[in-house]
A and B are shown apart, each in its own frame.
Chain A
């Protein structure tokens, strides 16, 4: 039987960029707020950041329906965990859960590019970075999404992370202060916005530290 039309695609890329940076006792997670499809903008004010647990925040870009489904699933699993263990899930624990959840759909993936940020069990900042099917790694900083190719080399240059292959293992978290890290993130997005059409409008920054969660916004170019 000849196919007369291209198969409809279950995926779409709604664009956007996410960044996370881990510090000695804080973690910065940031994402833009534009949602696009093809060359159109769907909305200029959509949050890509989701708080999964008290000390664990996820930012995801890619196909928004899959991202939403993933966030719902993880939130539901966290609720069950809280009921069963009477405590919040740790960030490394959530990191493993996210990886397993993604791999579960290895043969019809969640088209979702995630960075997980938070504080580990010792209160140190941690960032985990993922691909669409669940490969993950703990790192000192990461970016995912349409602007990641523009931002990642810049972060590599500025944050000079030691090689994970070194022995003895060296800390990947940045010695920068919280304010400096937030400023760096703002610079990253201001630059990515110039050249990536899917990154724009507004930047949402979430900072996690021992004082709790703090959220701020910065305007980006809207074109």
Chain B
């Protein structure tokens, strides 16, 4: 006879079916914007295990097919599962060998359907996805949430990025940004996130996709500034506090 204590956390043979309700290893925000030649997307390389930053080299942006980039925040294992599904999708697409290839719009639609159907089964893929790409000169940037909410816009951000980066983008984004300006703008957003999001790590990749193809940068760190006078002598206003 098993004690109740021993059973906690284990799945017994007569228990009701359990579904994922909690994420374990998670990635934080992804930020992306449309610029003159295509899409720019940025994400840091952190994988947090609750409040521990457990992994620091997680690639959260991947190229999909010839025309798209997929960035994900949320549960990393669910993202990896999604990549397996997409691999199969792209494989079948290539096997047609008919000169056509799945574009970002089609992939966005596919991802939306996958996320929505998992949500219908009460077993969501715990991710917020950003899908960006260029096909036949048309730029496309969209987002899908874990319950299937999806939309297209000129700039998107997941998680904390929605609160911290989007306002910056709304203010400073404009049509026909140059590549340099786009990167500067993204870096500005990522820097704010680095300062204010506790799950952010200072190691990020910026990915670019244009008609010509995809480039994902080598990981690099942003310059940060901590030399504020208030930080030099933090207890100046309240002696005796820590």
Chain A positions within 8 Å of B, measured between CB atoms, are 1, 5, 7-12, 14, 35, 37, 40-43, 45-46, 63-65, 68-69, 108
Complexed CA–CA distance, A123 and B228 (Å): 71
Main secondary structure of the interface of A (DSSP, over half): loop
Check if A64 sits within 8 Å of B150, measured CB to CB. yes
Check if A5 sits within 8 Å of B147, measured CB to CB. no
The number of inter-chain residue pairs (CB within 8 angstroms) is 58
Contact of A1 among B8, B116, B120 (CB under 8 A): B8
Contact of A10 among B8, B120, B153, B163 (CB under 8 A): B120
Closest to B144 in A: A65
Check if A65 sits within 8 Å of B147, measured CB to CB. yes
Nearest 4 pairs of A and B residues by beta carbon: A65-B148, A43-B153, A43-B151, A64-B149
**CB-defined contacts of A8 to chain B, threshold 8 Å:** 21, 124
**CB-defined contacts of A11 to chain B, threshold 8 Å:** 147
What 13 new A-B contacts, CB under 8 Å, besides A7-B21, A37-B149, A43-B152? Answer: A1-B8, A8-B21, A10-B120, A10-B122, A11-B147, A12-B145, A12-B147, A12-B149, A42-B143, A43-B151, A65-B116, A65-B119, A69-B148
Closest to B163 in A: A40
Check if A68 sits within 8 Å of B120, measured CB to CB. no
Q: Does B236 contact A (CB under 8 A)?
A: no
Contact of A42 among B112, B119, B151 (CB under 8 A): B151
Complexed CA–CA distance, A45 and B143 (Å): 14
Q: Does B6 contact A (CB under 8 A)?
A: no
Check if B153 sits within 8 Å of A45, measured CB to CB. yes
Q: Mark B122-139, 1 if CB is under 8 A from A, else 0.
A: 101000000000000000
CB distance from B174 to the nearest CB of A (A): 15
A-B contact pairs, 26 of them (CB 8 A): A1-B15, A8-B21, A9-B147, A10-B120, A10-B124, A11-B147, A12-B149, A14-B149, A37-B145, A40-B163, A40-B166, A41-B166, A42-B149, A42-B151, A42-B153, A42-B162, A43-B151, A43-B153, A64-B149, A64-B151, A65-B112, A65-B116, A65-B148, A68-B148, A69-B116, A69-B148
Q: Does B22 contact A (CB under 8 A)?
A: yes
Check if B119 sits within 8 Å of A10, measured CB to CB. yes
Among A8, A14, A37, A69, the one with the most B-chain Cβ atoms within 10 Å of its Cβ is A8
Complexed CA–CA distance, A40 and B124 (Å): 22
Chain B positions within 8 Å of A, measured between CB atoms, are 7-8, 15, 21-22, 112, 115-116, 119-120, 122, 124, 143, 145, 147-153, 162-163, 166
Main secondary structure of the interface of B (DSSP, over half): mixed
**CB-defined contacts of A45 to chain B, threshold 8 Å:** 153
**CB-defined contacts of A7 to chain B, threshold 8 Å:** 21
CB distance from B109 to the nearest CB of A (A): 9
Q: State whether A65 and B149 are in contact (beta carbons under 8 Å apart), knowing that A1-B8, A5-B21, A8-B21 are contacts in the complex.
A: yes
**CB-defined contacts of B22 to chain A, threshold 8 Å:** 5
**CB-defined contacts of B162 to chain A, threshold 8 Å:** 40, 42
CB distance from A174 to the nearest CB of B (A): 34
**CB-defined contacts of B166 to chain A, threshold 8 Å:** 40-41
Closest to A10 in B: B119
CB distance from A2 to the nearest CB of B (A): 8
**CB-defined contacts of B147 to chain A, threshold 8 Å:** 9-12, 63, 65
**CB-defined contacts of B21 to chain A, threshold 8 Å:** 5, 7-8
Closest to A14 in B: B149
